[in-house]
Amino acid sequence: SAVISQKPSRDICQRGTSLTIQCQVDSQVTMMFWYRQQPGQSLTLIATANQGSEATYESGFVIDKFPISRPNLTFSTLTVSNMSPEDSSIYLCSVETQSTDTQYFGPGTRLTVL
């Protein structure tokens, strides 16, 4: 499985600001995804990060709120824009390699918005 790191591991932010979360993989992967886990809830897919093109967003998530970049096959960023307390969650990236149908997750970024 790939080794996945995320930065920052946690942050406390003020309402109305934005935070960019980085996800780095130690090998080239075909698919990268961003998930959110709100307090006491399950994991929900935000979007698929596509290399070289716009991300594919799930219902209820929009690019203006969660812009995503994926400049190459090992790196992606998720920005949480104009934050409100409702955005307080754990944000996780996951990857899927070409040789497996399994997604592997990064350690997550715990975001608290005051």
Sites of contact with other proteins (CB under 8 A): 1, 4, 31, 33, 41-45, 48, 58, 92, 96, 101-108, 110
Task: Extract the tokens encoding 91.
Answer: 């944000």
Least CB distance to other proteins at residue 47 (A): 10
**What is the rounded CA–CA span in Å between residue 50 and residue 27?**
16
CB nearer other proteins, residue 26 or residue 82 = 26
CB-based contact 43:107 (threshold 8 Å):
no
Task: Extract the tokens encoding 68.
Answer: 């995503």
Least CB distance to other proteins at residue 71 (A): 20
CB nearer other proteins, residue 75 or residue 81 = 75
